[in-house]
Amino acid sequence: MSIAVVILNWNGKALLEKFLPSVIENSKDATIYVADNASTDDSVLFLETNYPNDVTIIKNKENGGYAKGYNDALKHVQEDIFCLLNSDVEVTPDWLTPIEQLFKNESIAVVQPKIKWYTNKDYFEYAGAAGGFIDKYGYPFCKGRIFTELEKDTGQYNKEEEIFWASGACFFIRKTVFEEQQGFDEQFFAHMEEIDLCWRIINTSKKIFYTPESTVYHVGGGTLDTLNPKKTYYNFRNSLFTLLKNLPENQIKKIVFTRMVLDGLAFVRFCLKFQLKHAFAILKAHASYYKLKKQYLRNRVKNVKTTNYFKITSIVREYYINKKKTYKILIKH
């Protein structure tokens, strides 16, 4: 099968200079694309000058964020497997081979490698780590990362297994599945769109997998407390949209109401820490949710029957009250 490695870029010349060489060197059997989101720096000129034969450039007409950026770009890509790769990721030798092996299983639609922290390569990285899950109320967490707790990689997650969502930092998906699902939800703009897409895919009985046999290093490393308030806004808003779109209809009201209460506690926490811009971002997220709620209810897939999509009821309770700060403790196998 053919693989396309597609890097979305917006004013990221410095990142391309630093990380693109590892992608080219270690992806000999793949076609490499850079999808430029209407950059205003000289990213495109840099690529045309330095990599005219190694990289195919796709020029998007506008900066539509992660979701629309990839939706627009992938219309021009014909390979069987899309790898959506952040521009701040260093890949390793033979990183694609384990991914190809997993895709021989026709039931697998999406695959994520082990994602470790570029700044401290012994540790998992915030945006994906060893594969993602959500609790009953839509809060995401990962093997190797729960809230701000990053684990050292000691081989504790070296089992290839099914997960609930794969990180958008390094996200492999079949072209046919991406097109069947009509890509990412463009109203998300950025953040949580990969979780929404994975949930939609799971609702079609296809699988999302993690493999520790492939490793990449992501600069990332952000935590909620240090994020721009705009990112706080998107994370809280888009998480609510994800619940609204993908929960079985008879569960929506109760679960979303509880989620609103939990968001209210997050609002109070931000206020107590005098992070008022983040607190306001939560209010703004809820306002946007109510504004678009009817539209999402009209367009949601009917007769969603997903059950047992979550492994724990509340990651907030387990982390903050029960002090369970690693996946191994949280989920006792």
Return the CATH number at 129: 3.90.550.10
Cβ(196)–Cβ(188) under 8 Å? yes
Confidence band, pLDDT 50/70/90 cuts, at residue 206: very high
Query: What is the arithmetic mean of pLDDT over 282-286?
Result: 97
pLDDT for 33 beyond 90: yes
The answer to whether residues 66 and 207 belong to one domain is yes
Q: Is the pTM of this model over 0.85?
A: yes
pLDDT tens across 179-204, in order? 999 999 999 988 899 999 999 999 99
The answer to whether residues 233 and 291 belong to one domain is yes
Predicted local confidence at residue 223, as pLDDT: 41
Question: CA 79, CA 70: separation in Å to the nearest integer?
Answer: 15
Looking at the DSSP bridge assignments, the partners of residue 142 are 132, 145
pLDDT tens across 134-192, in order? 999 999 999 999 988 999 999 999 999 999 999 999 999 999 999 999 999 999 988 89
The answer to whether residues 298 and 235 belong to one domain is yes
Predicted local confidence at residue 226, as pLDDT: 55
Q: By three-state DSSP, how is residue 147 classified?
A: coil
Confidence band, pLDDT 50/70/90 cuts, at residue 258: very high
Q: Indicate the residue among 182, 201, 223 that finishes a domain.
A: 223
**DSSP class per residue in 86-140:** -TTEEE-TT-SHHHHHHTTSTTEEEEEEEEEESSSTTBB-TTTTT-EEE-TTS-E
Q: Which helix (H) or strand (E) holds 245?
A: helix 229-246
Please work out, in degrees rounded to the nearest 5, the angle formed at the alpha carbon of residue 144 by the alpha carbons of 181 and 134. Answer: 40
Looking at the DSSP bridge assignments, the partners of residue 33 are 6, 56
The answer to whether residues 69 and 113 belong to one domain is yes
Neighbours of 164 (CB within 10 A): 19
Max Cα–Cα distance, the chain, nearest Å: 56
DSSP 320: I
pLDDT for 290 beyond 70: yes
Predicted local confidence at residue 18, as pLDDT: 97
The answer to whether residues 66 and 212 belong to one domain is yes
The answer to whether residues 109 and 18 belong to one domain is yes
pLDDT tens across 106-122, in order? 999 999 999 999 999 99
Average pLDDT, the chain: 93
Predicted local confidence at residue 303, as pLDDT: 65
Q: Indicate the residue among 184, 206, 223 that finishes a domain.
A: 223
* Sign of the torsion formed by the C-alpha atoms of 332, 168, 29 and 100: positive
pLDDT tens across 49-107, in order? 999 999 999 999 999 899 999 999 999 999 999 999 999 999 999 999 999 999 999 99
Looking at the DSSP bridge assignments, the partners of residue 170 are 85
Question: CA 174, CA 15: separation in Å to the nearest integer?
Answer: 26
| Backbone Cα Rg of the chain | 19
pLDDT for 261 beyond 90: yes
Joined tokens for residue 300: 């949601």
**Count of domains observed in the chain:** 2
The answer to whether residues 214 and 300 belong to one domain is no
Question: Residue holding tokens 């009509």?
Answer: 182
The answer to whether residues 249 and 308 belong to one domain is yes
Q: Indicate the residue among 223, 246, 270 that finishes a domain.
A: 223
Cβ(135)–Cβ(141) under 8 Å? yes
Confidence band, pLDDT 50/70/90 cuts, at residue 224: very low
Cβ(17)–Cβ(87) under 8 Å? no
Query: What is the arithmetic mean of pLDDT over 203-224?
Result: 86
Query: What is the arithmetic mean of pLDDT over 306-315?
Result: 83
Question: CA 246, CA 322: separation in Å to the nearest integer?
Answer: 28
Domain coverage including residue 150? 3-223
